[in-house]
Amino acid sequence: MAYTVKQLLESKQFPDMRLVTCKENLNQEIKGIRIIEIEDMERYLTGGELLLTNMKVYFGETDREFRKHLNELEKKQVSGFIIKQHPDMVQKVNYYDILLKFCSERNIPVIEISEDEYYWGIIKYVILQIYDENIARLIYFKLTHDNISNMLLDGEDFEDPTKNILFLLSSMIDNPVALYYSNLTCCASTTQDLSDFVFEKNVEKYKPDIVTRFEYKKQRKEHTQYITKIHVLGRTEIYLVVTEVNMPLTILDYMALENAVITLQYSFMETYAKNEIEKKYQRDIEYSLLNGLLTGDELSKAARMLKLKDTAQYCVVSFHTISSNSEDYYTKEELEEIGVIEGEIQRLLPDEHIYRNLNQIVCIHEIKPGETQAGFREEMEKLYQTVQKQIFHRNKTTDFQIGIGSIVNGYGDLKKSFNDSKKVIDYMDMLRYLYGDKNISVADFSKLGFFQIFEKIKNRDELMEYVPESLVKLYWYDKEHDGELIETLQAYLDCDKSANKAAEKLYVNYRTLSGRLKKIRDISGIDFKNSAEMLAVRNGIVLFKMAETL
């Protein structure tokens, strides 16, 4: 049975609909429904369609050109127009009046809707009236595919097409939509809520009644949320979240959602490829700059490209991850995780120069006026906590550390700051011992204190000359007997010379620890009551740890 314009008006599905022309010819059969997306839309019609438009596509057309398009549309025997006045409707040509006059003369119904009424609710309703469900699915999939895909042609960067796609999808399903990075921070949203996403305990897998190759989940909060995971080249993942605030999702809504996910995936892949090319070029420049491979004009040119100033102060920060195996070999999974961490750091430090070299991520930071070394270290500690929280959320065990290099004047001395930042990473275990805090994972070069003098020594034997003879005796005893005397001495000093606490720390009984301390005194002659000697021993242990890195 034919579905007519009259039946649509009498359905009361859209209370804001208002018939403005042609009350006599409402029995026109609706054979299809389309949005007028281009000015020569008549070329793509089969006939009998109900057309939706705000006439923006005709802006710039002359009176004569617009009438010509209307004549061609009449030849297609369109069943009517649904229009809403665009905010920019005031034009040199009064398209609205021309359309009303044209349709009145030819008995073509014109229905007006409010400016904030979305077309897609009308399209879904009409399609389900004129087709059976299977055909309606196919037609709606094609309509949403064409409209969403066109978003990739708008905007020149990642942000614009992504937001356009989200807002279009939101209008299609009449519910808010948001995108979240893998660390669950908000990438883009159709609402003002940019807070982090939270997976609830009741989250569960969900299979919509459509053919899909994507993974869906849903969870119940104040409103039901539908979560779709989008994989980007196997390197990262992004979550598309629909919150069912206004209307329950229907089968046709899932068709739109599926198209949005596919288009977003292509958008992310394109953006990822562009960013990788740019990063590769910038990485080469920064690598050469930080390793002191540029001089003269090359150095000046590289600095200009990176917008570095000769009069500014800089420090280089090394973000380091440690391989889980002793050979320092990084697995594919570990390298992928480092890539995720790199993305998180770039998000947290959007204005910094950041590049990655395998397991090391490096940042060139310009010291701001009034910024102190302690203040910047505090910022890095906050960043560490944020990144570590996300590592934990991903169920990873990545050992993440941050080394802050010395402050240098101008870009010419960045190599020194870079090397200093790497030294901090190398001596992190030593710093943990030195400050009695095994949880230190963020440190700046100044924390090395007077040990900076010794870090310049690159010969192990030469460095050992500064170690007290008493410690050297213990070192050789441990080496010959596979002993634990230096480790015991270190624990004893860390525990403020409390034998009970040291025994607990080493997981041995008090008698065993007392025996080891006696052996330490017998072999080395150390006087635990001599504070000056204890200071020398503590420093000697630090030098031992420095020697272990050579």
**pLDDT tens figures, 479-538:** 888 778 888 888 888 888 888 888 888 888 888 888 888 888 888 888 888 877 788 888
Q: State the pairing for strand pair 442-444/399-404.
A: parallel
CA dist 543 and 404 (Å) reads: 21
pLDDT over threshold 50, residue 157: no
Compare 93 and 410 and report the one with higher pLDDT: 410
Instruction: Please give the single-letter amino acid code of residue 533.
Output: E
Compute CA distances 105 → 25, 116, 197, 434, whole Å: 12, 29, 55, 92
Compute CA distances 415 → 103, 206, 280, 421, whole Å: 74, 53, 20, 10
**DSSP for residue 368:** P
Compare 2 and 464 and report the one with higher pLDDT: 2
Compare 207 and 357 and report the one with higher pLDDT: 207
Compare 323 and 217 and report the one with higher pLDDT: 217
pLDDT over threshold 70, residue 154: no
Q: What residue segments make up the domains of the chain, in order of their start?
A: 5-130, 135-273, 306-449, 462-548
Whether domain 462-548 has CATH 1.10.10.2840: yes
Homologous superfamily (CATH) for 135-273: GAF domain (3.30.450.40)
Backbone angles phi, psi at 337, to 5 degrees: -65, -40
| 14 token code pair | 């859209």
CA 261, 262, 267: angle at the middle one, nearest 5? 95
Q: What is the CATH number of domain 306-449?
A: 3.30.70.270
- Give me the pLDDT at residue 225, please: 93
Counting residues of the chain whose pLDDT is more than 70, the rounded percentage is 91
- Give me the pLDDT at residue 208, please: 86
- Give me the pLDDT at residue 336, please: 79
- Give me the pLDDT at residue 158, please: 45
Compare 303 and 34 and report the one with higher pLDDT: 34
Which secondary structure element, helix H or strand E, spans residue 228, and what is its range?
strand 224-232
Sheet arrangement for strand 186-189:
186-189, 177-180, 236-243, 224-232, 215-220, 204-206
pLDDT over threshold 60, residue 214: yes
CA dist 539 and 328 (Å) reads: 28
pLDDT over threshold 60, residue 325: no
pLDDT over threshold 90, residue 110: yes
Query: Which CATH number among 3.60.20.10, 3.30.460.80, 3.30.559.30, 3.40.1390.20 corresponds to the domain 5-130?
Result: 3.40.1390.20
| 325 token code pair | 């195996």
Do the domains spanning 306-449 and 462-548 agree at the CATH topology level? no
CA dist 517 and 519 (Å) reads: 5
- Give me the pLDDT at residue 8, please: 92
Of 144-158, 198-212, 229-243, 371-385, the one with minimum mean pLDDT is 144-158
